Amino acid sequence: MPDTLSLLKTRLAEVADLNYAAAVLEWDQETYMPPGAAESRAQQVATLRRLGHERFTADEVGGWLDRLNPSPEEEQALVRVTQRDYARATLLPSAWVSAMAEAKGRALEAWKTAREANDFAHFAPHLQRIVDLNREKAERLRPLLADERGNTYAPTEADALYDALLDEYEPGAHTTEVAAVFADLQRHLVPLVEAIAAQPQLDDRLVHRAYDEDAQWAFGMQVAEALGYDLRHGRQDRSAHPFTTSFGIRDVRITTRLDPQFFNPAFFGTIHEVGHALYEQGIDPALDRTPLADGTSLGMHESQSRLWENLVGRSRAFWMHWFPQAQRHFPGALAGAKAEAFYRAVNRVEPSLIRVEADELTYHLHVLLRFEIERALIAETLAVADVPEAWNAKMEAYLGCTPASDADGCLQDIHWALGALGYFPTYTLGTLMSTQLFEAAERDLGDLNEAFAEGTYRPLLDWLRTHVHRWGRMRSANEILRDVMGGGLDAAPWLAYAKAKFGALYGLGLEAEGSKPQAHSF
């Protein structure tokens, strides 16, 4: 007779396989699936997710979890994390899981069609269904948060629902705290972006030239490997919206999209996804096929993608090394250009329409806008039909530009079509964490720009493997931050970094403004 822990692990491996299989089907849907198969695929994914949910939420699993009280740290973490997942999952009935999987499959196809045809009305009923299913989910999950957070937890009715959604992506986060962080960022960002707007603009014509697609692919793959992405256990494909997906620790894939006239989307998209993939590939292999084999929160996940994309990939030292190679890949576009000019071109700050192409600063205003619209949809103070109008009004207010089409507006992101509400804020939370982690790494390793100037990333990757990656979900985001920084989430390092870097690039003389001093200079 196998012991209780073995029974639990066997079941968890089965559930992991079902979910990995669903992820393969979803990856295929985004990359290679013929269009006429969407309906069948939605049914298949729904079946896999439903069975995974049923096998995980079965009564015997609850019994095993109640009986288990292991002492080794790894097994303790397994039981603790699984207990929480079990509690969440048993609050969601199979019918809901199945309905959501099917709604996502259909919404995804509708979103693609709507985006192509610039026809929000085609997507609207699917978005309404997603909102309704998310509200149902939040209603079912909110008692769990109330239990965990105790007597002092007294959110408004609407925030209680949004908290329950947010908690799936950023465990422990509170809507009110997130709103406060955004208010803080907005307060510092608006004057910074205004000050930049008053300066002569950086010339970015270098990145808006003809970039051969095959060469973009080759250069992106070369850099991805140099950063440490293991292609024996990963690959890159094309998709409409870049993403990272994992079918276990040994198969972590990324996608990108190519613009033949613009260098940034594919290149920084690739590095961004590589950051996610390095996290997944770095999880302790002993955790494979368990609930621990995942990023500990989406914020922490995003900290990895942002760290590699911006703190590495948009640093001057990075381009000192890579620019000559870029010139070999793109002899037409880059003949006679200088590395410094390229560094400046990829760091131009300018309000624009598309989140995934936004600069490091205005990016967070895109996230703020989505956070506010999501909160309003969940609070039912905004109707789905009014999303385009609300979107465009906020774009004008925060970024000073209005999309000419919904394709470049509220239809640009895949997240809602994937059923995810409460996800967007983690992009900004992750960016804040990325600077905290980078500061800690430089404290331990010294100035990393010297290594970057030589194309060396191993010390940084090893540091992240040690302090972040290998733990998977054994440590929460807050525990990781406490381990390396002695404190929790803190916006100050990112604000200081932003002011130092862009102050220098735009000649603002902000360095003496009394920000917390930075050990590293960009």
* Contact pattern for its own copies over residues 261 through 290, marking x by CB under 8 A: ---------------------------xx-
Of the ranges 40-48, 388-396, 444-452, 478-486, which one interacts with its own copies (CB under 8 A)? 40-48
Name residue 173's amino acid. A
Provide the minimum distance between the beta carbon of 151 and its own copies in the complex, in angstroms, as a whole number. Answer: 44
Output DSSP code: residue 205. G
Using CB under 8 A as the binding rule, whether residue 116 contacts its own copies is answered as no
Q: How far apart are CA 239 and CA 242, in angstroms?
A: 6
Paired tokens of 190:
């608006």
248 binds its own copies (CB under 8 A): yes
DSSP 252: E
Element (H, E) at 50: helix 38-57
Q: Give catalytic residue positions.
A: 273
Q: Interaction with its own copies in 194-233: which residues (CB under 8 A)?
A: 230-233
Residue keyed to tokens 């199979």: 94
The residues, any chain, with a CB within 8 Å of residue 151's CB and separated by 6 or more, are none
| Half-sphere exposure for 208 (CA within 13 Å, toward CB) | 6
Which residue, 13 or 397, has its beta carbon nearer to its own copies? 13
Q: How far apart are CA 356 and CA 472, in angstroms?
A: 26
Q: Tell me how far apart the alpha carbons of residues 48 and 18 are, in angstroms, rounded to a whole number.
A: 6
Q: Is 462 in the site for its own copies (CB under 8 A)?
A: no
Nearest to 252 by CA among 226, 232, 238: 232
CB of residue 233 to its own copies, shortest distance in Å: 4
Where does this chain touch its own copies (CB under 8 A) — which range of 11-19, 156-164, 318-326, 400-408? Answer: 11-19
**How many angstroms separate the Cα of 447 from the Cα of each of 50, 364, 444, 452?**
49, 27, 9, 10
What is the nearest approach in angstroms of its own copies to the Cβ of residue 385?
A: 31
**39 forms part of the interface with its own copies (CB under 8 A):** yes
Question: Of residues 21, 179, 215, 485, which one binds its own copies by CB under 8 A?
Answer: 21
Residues in 305-324 that interact with its own copies by CB under 8 A: none
Which of 6, 13, 125, 286 is the binder for its own copies (CB under 8 A)? Answer: 13
Q: Applying CB under 8 A, which of residues 6, 40, 156, 199 lies at the interface with its own copies? A: 40
* Interacting span for its own copies (CB under 8 A) from 17-25, 399-407, 464-472, 480-488: 17-25
Residues 469, 279 contacting (CB under 8 angstroms): yes
Q: Which is nearer to its own copies, 122 or 289 (CB)?
A: 289
When the beta carbons of 149 and 233 are compared against its own copies, the nearer one is: 233
Q: CA-CA distances (angstroms) from residue 47 to 94, 98, 247?
A: 10, 7, 17
What is the Cβ-side half-sphere exposure of residue 419, based on CA atoms within 13 angstroms? 17
Provide the binding-site residues for its own copies, judged by CB under 8 A. 13-14, 17-18, 20-22, 24-25, 28, 32-37, 39-41, 43-44, 47-48, 51, 230-235, 237, 247-251, 253, 288-289
